[in-house]
Amino acid sequence: MSSFSTYADGAAEQRPNRDVIISVRDLVVGFGDRTVVKGLDLDVFRGEVLGVVGGSGQGKSVLTRAILGLVPARAGAIRIFGQDRDALAPTERRILEQRWGVLFQNGALFSGLTVKQNIQMPMRETREISYHLMDELAMLKLELVGLPPDAADKFPSELSGGMVKRAALARALALDPELVFLDEPTSGLDPIGAAEFDELIGTLQQTLGLTVFMVTHDLDSLYSICDRVAALAEGRVIAAGPLETLLESDHPWLKAYFHGVRGGRLSAAHIEHKDEEWKPAPTTR
Partner 1 sequence: MTVAAKQSPPKFSRQRSAEGVRLSLSGDWTLIASHRLEEEAHRMVEEARGDRLIVIDLAQVSQLDTAGAWLINRARHELARRDVAVALEHVRPEYSTLLEEAHYRIFEAPARPNFNLIFILLSDLGQSIVDALHEFYRGVSFLGEFVSSMIYVASRPHRFRLTSLVAQIELIGFRSVPIIVLINVLVGAIVAQQGIFQLLRFGASSYTVSLIGILVLRELGVLLTSIMIAGRSGSAITAELGSMKMREEVDALLVMGLSPIEVLIAPRVLGLIISLPILTFIADMAALFGGMIVSWWYGGISPVAFASLLKEAIALHTFLVGIIKAPFMALVIGLIASMDGLATKGSAESLGRQVTSSVVKSIFMVIVMDGLFAIFFASIDY
> Which stretches of the chain bind partner 1, using CB under 8 A?
81, 83, 92, 95-96, 98-99, 110-112, 123, 127-130, 133, 135-137, 139-141, 144, 149-150, 152-153, 155-157, 173, 175-176, 206-209, 283-285
CB nearer to partner 1: give 55 or 188.
188
Q: Which residues are registered as beta bridge partners of 181?
A: 102, 213
Q: How far is the CB of 183 from partner 1 (least distance, A)?
A: 19
Q: How far is the CB of 173 from partner 1 (least distance, A)?
A: 8
**H/E run at residue 3:** none
Q: Distance between CA 219 and CA 257 in Å, rounded? A: 9
Q: Are strands 236-241 and 228-233 parallel, antiparallel or unpaired?
A: antiparallel
Q: How far is the CB of 158 from partner 1 (least distance, A)?
A: 8
CB nearer to partner 1: give 141 or 270.
141
Q: How far is the CB of 281 from partner 1 (least distance, A)?
A: 9
Backbone angles phi, psi at 27, to 5 degrees: -75, 130
CB nearer to partner 1: give 26 or 86.
86
Backbone angles phi, psi at 37, to 5 degrees: -105, 125
Q: Are strands 179-183 and 100-103 parallel, antiparallel or unpaired?
A: parallel
CB nearer to partner 1: give 35 or 206.
206
Is residue 204 within 8 Å of 237, Cβ to Cβ?
Answer: no
CB nearer to partner 1: give 5 or 83.
83
Q: How far is the CB of 188 from partner 1 (least distance, A)?
A: 14
Backbone angles phi, psi at 60, to 5 degrees: -65, -55
